[in-house]
Structure 1
């Protein structure tokens, strides 16, 4: 994995988290391929996250960030979102774009309700590593899957996406999962502008984002320190995600884990109303391109 940069290596952490979830009897989703993708590095990062979020022995009762449950909820939430979104698109094959796809296996493991043209965008080294790992299990996608090796912070990727068969004049479904907090606000705005430019009105867009308050929360500090040590610090958050996405032509709503439709019986932390100040939050955002 020498060709992976620090952010790309977190895709291996996500695979380890999903592989661990797949071992649970009460798992929120099925991902039989994640264990083939995690690698030793992914499991090492998994262990470091476990250490960073372990309850404090010197401060009993201190809040602990629910990293593992959050990842499970996020995966299930976006699984359901993508399946429903492809039904809502109607017409011919739905267009689904996974930006920063990493080691995502939704092309293989979801029960897609109809024909889908699915585009996975990520660094060439990440996509190549995934292809190599999945060859071992000889699995076939349930969609028409097209990969595109790009740097999402490069301004020319939308033209290359069209060359792969994507139709910008037809509605599409976009997922930006595990991306926005690793890049600067300026970069996040540029990516969303690119998504808007590449998608037809009525297209659907989903992403996860953390609050700006999360960066100053004592409860978050051990986790933030871990990502900083790995060389991929969290760089951006926003306390009003609906307003942020609206600035880029996406009318969105945000839900917090633990709220209705984003709980699944797994969120252990308190869920504070949005008008309560100075609370670290994570948001699952979904909306429509205007």
Structure 2
């Protein structure tokens, strides 16, 4: 007699249940994204969307893990297209302050739609917007309360980057504001690497040189590896984006200013004792 576990009907039932479980257990749940989608829009499961979902899940997890290990005020900076729902849908710990850098017009329009569906930031957290069009993003961040002497984590996904020079400006801003040891991660358009075929080795070399020149040590992250760790599968091949994680290796401008003030105080104390 055929063992129960090997019967074709039982195997089919097992496979069917597995497929159903995969379908009903998404990588993440976004209860607010629907307010940005026109009614009756049909959503497919194309490969680029799967890569975006894999990246989103990776960034979500990294943000929450990092923030949960920060003491006191927890600073998160999100560079987005203005419609990022992370401030509302993620379970941020108490005392998290989230700064959103994005196009102002898009952000204001999205904020109205999110308010209309009841989206709220978790209690004891603060959400602040910095227009991408600001003439001095660093100064605007400081005026909103960002402190470069404290740890922070920065994430970029969806931010409209039109040129390599523009991204270098953004990277310079992050480099000047992020305290040593802070994390900068996210997705970048693959064309920024300016490699004709986008070979992994040349892209990695480009990223390493660009980020290191701004004080960061960067690593490319494989979409396939992330998918496997989540029990998912994505088609191999060229991707439209680059997934990365980097660490700040140098002092922020606020840290350097604090260091200069300490040295000046020591020198002044020495002059007083020598009189």
TM-score normalized with structure 1 length: 0.67
Q: Does 1:75 align with 2:56?
A: yes
Aligned residues: 221
Mark the runs of 5 or more structure 1 residues left unpaired by the alignment. 1-23, 54-65, 219-236, 272-278
Partner residue of 1:174 out of 125, 138, 154: 154
Match of 2:128 in 1: 146
List 4+ stretches of structure 1 deviating above 6 A.
none
Match of 1:5 in 2: none
In 1, the alpha carbon distance for the partners of 2:78 and 2:228 equals 21
Displacement, 1:114?
3.6
CA contact (8 A) 2:82 2:104 kept: no
In 1, the alpha carbon distance for the partners of 2:194 and 2:240 equals 6
Q: 3-state DSSP class of the match of 1:102?
A: coil
Distance 1:208 1:177, change over 3 A: same
Q: 3-state DSSP class of the match of 2:142?
A: helix
Distance 1:118 1:269, change over 3 A: same
Displacement, 1:40?
6.2
Match of 2:179 in 1: 200
Displacement, 1:178?
2.5
Match of 2:245 in 1: 286
In 2, the alpha carbon distance for the partners of 1:251 and 1:198 equals 16
Displacement, 1:83?
0.1
**More helix per residue:** 2
CA contact (8 A) 2:58 2:226 kept: no
Distance 1:211 1:168, change over 3 A: same
Larger radius of gyration: 2
- List aligned pairs for 1:113-124, cutoff 5 A: 113-124=93-104
Match of 1:267 in 2: 233
Mark the runs of 5 or more structure 2 residues left unpaired by the alignment. 1-22, 250-275
Displacement, 1:155?
4.8
RMSD: 3.0
Distance 1:163 1:100, change over 3 A: same
Displacement, 1:254?
1.4
Match of 2:12 in 1: none
Match of 1:231 in 2: none
